[in-house]
Structure 1
Amino acid sequence: METTNNTALIVGANGVISTNLIDYLSSLGNWDIIALSRRGGTDHGHVHYIAVDLLDLEDAVNKLNSLTTVTHIFYAAYQDRESWAALVEPNLRMLVNVIKAIEPVAKSLQHVSLMQGYKVYGAHVGPFKTPAKESDAGHMPPEFNTSQLQYLQQQQIGKQWTWSAIRPSVVGGTAPGNPMNLALLIAVYATISKKLNIPLRFPGKPGAYGKLLEVTDANLLAKATLWAATEPLAANQAFNINNGDLFRWEDLWPKIAKYFKMEVDAPLPIPLQTMMSDKADIWEDIRTQHGLNYTYTEVSAWAFGDFVFSWDYDFFADGSKARRMGFHEFVDTEQMFFRLFDEMRNKQIIP
């Protein structure tokens, strides 16, 4: 008979990061998994979904006060807002409400994992020191990742549980309905370009085409997140998690075009959020023709594309700390993109 040793509470369960973490924990066979999100989900195996409004403390307490067996919290929830300053209050409040609801009832709580990103280094506001290191100095607030970690550090003082802060680059995965899915937006952009019989042009700033970047495979991220949550030496520390290699769009973009059997032409800066806003009918034609499973809204992430493709500065961090301490996974980024495109085809997300 299969036994479970730990109970994971996955917060923000329907995102590209959490869906891969749920799959990974499920594959190990020794985890019960409770998945929280606004819209819930369908229970399967050792995974139980709860629909909850984490901005509402009363709702959080009512829905979560029976979760006495939770041993690990994996926090990856996110609420988008119109400005960097406006992001702080709701995203901090959700984390606070989770801790307020779970800490008093989960007497065996061992660890809280906080998903962050390179915003802690100022990567979202302009050129930042590269490679960024976990020990780098902070920057002028507001920045919700920093506010969340400061809260967690203060809350943990004198407690038996520990924390970790996981800092991936842009995450590569296949989950639709996610506002920050780079591989999916490239695949959809390529699919629509091909339908219109135009070459695959890089749509970002001219200076972004030749800069050094890195990404983080969602499967690698899941493994690293669990490693940091269960490795005693990693307690109460932050870790940059990346694939371990670097790339430039000017080298990778033609290879992506070749994957989709397309011509590539000179980059042409276009605002994706504006230029792709009228392409729903085209996508619906593609969807009908190929029997695809997802609507245009579910596969669109154009604002994120405008953001990522605007980085006309190097964008990478030093991922050696985790690897020095025992996490030794690497992923080839080119092969990651091709594998993700293959998975999207298998899931009938793209033709």
Structure 2
Amino acid sequence: MSQAPNTVDRVALVFGASGITGWAILREALHPTNNPFRCIIGLSNHPIHPLQRLLPDRDGFTLASGVNLSAGVDEVTTKLSSIDNIGDVTDVFFAAYIQPPGTSDFEGYEVLKEVNVRILETAVLAVERLCPRLRFWSLQTGGKSYGFTFIREIGLPKVPCDESDPRIAQPFEDQVFYYAQSDALKRLSAGRRWRFTEIRPDLVIGFVPGGKNAMNFAQALGLFLSFYTDREARGGAAGWKAIRFPGTVGSYNACHTEIGQETLARAHIYASNLTTAPNGEIYNVGDSPPITGLSWRDKWAALCGHFGLVGLGPPEEGEAIFSASGYMMQHQSEWKGFEEKYSLLPSVIQHTSWEFLDVLLSLAAFDRQYNLSKFAAAGFHERTDVAQNYFEAFQLMEDAKIIPRLSLLLSLHESVAV
């Protein structure tokens, strides 16, 4: 499968620049090597504070806020038209997402689907008005496409999950807005000079500037483990405190596919270079081993050790399951003191979804690993160590004052233990 040469005069446009994927695409596209873009434009609805961006600077980089895709095509077009180099855009990376209040995969899903399909259509129509050189569009979806949300109704997924697997059965198919987004892009791209690719990760490990993304699992885990370390400082030998896996035996042993946001960003950009890929092609992406996946058993102790904790397995038979969200809510009155003690960004803990942490550590007690062979056959062989992905995300969170500096946290930990 042929690739576009790096010498092509290309301009990247990233929707959702303040999110876990959009920010990572910007960071990767701004890297001085292996970068096919002359200019990079990042778009977000809300501004990213300069101290939270943690992005390199270079000529040809524009970061614009106030782009509200819910406002309609005319208003979005007007907003975009004022941005330098917008008329030269060739490649669009769409990582925008809206979750209206009261909606989820189970409640209000029709509203969730309508809103997210509409913002995608608005983005396409506005870009088409302004960008005559458009050649590529990437859409990020995820594990909902394999029915992970509806296992009680439709049963466990066939593993490893493959891009050729059929859509889940009705009435649940209509509840997956990823399907509707893909259908919208097929319709909108028909007969056009541009093509689209669907990039399909499962659990994304990474950093979100500002810390206000409630569904960032690594952020929730980093806050939980650092808070636990701080609060439970008095431990056993050498002051190291043991912590049970906050979930079930089933979820501890179940295989799943994770991906670091850097690998994910590279996957989006690599797909943009596959000039002969069919329109609407789907690619599973991940850092976990192809086909076999990883489990929490494989990495729990290492992640705990990063915070000076001894990670133990799930509760023994007859013991109560340790709940991360239960622990955090039990000590909610201490959150503000924790933030002040380490000079953390205020209110991030309040905007973190502890229920989401519980879902992935306790309720996801089934194998859901991906088959990663298809993208590898197309030449994408990027793989990084999954535990290292977490450590790098934690480091970025430290830099952004979302979690405490590890050196300070552990030094206070050790001084209390002594």
Q: Same fold (TM over 0.5)?
A: yes
Distance of 1:179 and 1:4 partners within structure 2: 38
CA deviation profile, 1:13-52 (whole Å, cap 9, x unmatched): 1011111110111114633222222213468541231312
Equivalent AA in structure 2 for residue 12 of structure 1: G
How big is the shift at 1:299?
A: 6.2
Equivalent AA in structure 2 for residue 180 of structure 1: M
Please, which runs of 5 or more residues in structure 2 have no aligned partner?
1-6, 51-56, 233-240, 405-418
Q: Cα–Cα, structure 1 residues 19 and 294, in superposed 2: closer, same or farther, change >3 Å?
A: farther
Q: Cα–Cα, structure 1 residues 120 and 347, in superposed 2: closer, same or farther, change >3 Å?
A: same
Q: Cα–Cα, structure 1 residues 143 and 201, in superposed 2: closer, same or farther, change >3 Å?
A: same
* 8 Å contact from structure 2 (residues 256, 294) kept in 1: yes
Q: Cα–Cα, structure 1 residues 234 and 301, in superposed 2: closer, same or farther, change >3 Å?
A: farther
* 8 Å contact from structure 1 (residues 65, 101) kept in 2: no
* 8 Å contact from structure 2 (residues 26, 40) kept in 1: yes
How big is the shift at 1:255?
A: 2.1
How big is the shift at 1:96?
A: 0.6
Partner of 1:190: 225
Alignment counterpart, residue 18 of structure 2, candidates 11, 14, 17: 14
Distance of 1:340 and 1:165 partners within structure 2: 25
Residue correspondence of structure 1 range 266-305 to structure 2 within 5 A: 266-267=314-315, 269=321, 272-273=324-325, 275-277=327-329, 279-297=331-349, 300-305=352-357
Partner of 1:137: 166
1:167 aligns with 2:200: yes
Equivalent AA in structure 2 for residue 61 of structure 1: T
Partner of 1:50: 65
Alignment counterpart, residue 231 of structure 1, candidates 274, 284, 294: 274
Residue correspondence of structure 1 range 76-87 to structure 2 within 5 A: 76-81=95-100, 82-84=103-105, 85=109, 86-87=111-112
Tell me whether 62-71 or 144-153 shows the greater mean CA deviation.
Answer: 62-71
Equivalent AA in structure 1 for residue 309 of structure 2: M
Distance of 1:297 and 1:32 partners within structure 2: 35
Tell me whether 136-145 or 178-187 shows the greater mean CA deviation.
Answer: 178-187
Partner of 1:120: 145
1:62 aligns with 2:95: no
Counting matched residue pairs gives 349
Q: State the identity as a percent.
A: 27
Distance of 2:306 and 2:347 partners within structure 1: 23
CA RMSD of superposed structures (Å): 2.3
Alignment counterpart, residue 73 of structure 1, candidates 82, 89, 92: 92
1:258 aligns with 2:277: no
Partner of 2:252: 209
Alignment counterpart, residue 100 of structure 1, candidates 121, 125, 134: 125
TM score, norm. by length of structure 2:
0.77
Distance of 1:158 and 1:287 partners within structure 2: 54
1:157 aligns with 2:178: no
* 8 Å contact from structure 1 (residues 169, 214) kept in 2: yes
How big is the shift at 1:206?
A: 3.8
1:240 aligns with 2:289: no
* 8 Å contact from structure 2 (residues 284, 374) kept in 1: yes
Tell me whether 142-151 or 260-269 shows the greater mean CA deviation.
Answer: 260-269
How big is the shift at 1:290?
A: 2.3
* 8 Å contact from structure 1 (residues 92, 148) kept in 2: yes
Distance of 2:258 and 2:374 partners within structure 1: 17
| Counterpart secondary structure, 2:119 | helix
Partner of 1:219: 262
CA deviation profile, 1:129-161 (whole Å, cap 9, x unmatched): 111111110013221111000110111111110
Distance of 1:51 and 1:200 partners within structure 2: 43
Equivalent AA in structure 2 for residue 155 of structure 1: L
* 8 Å contact from structure 1 (residues 25, 31) kept in 2: no
How big is the shift at 1:314?
A: 0.6
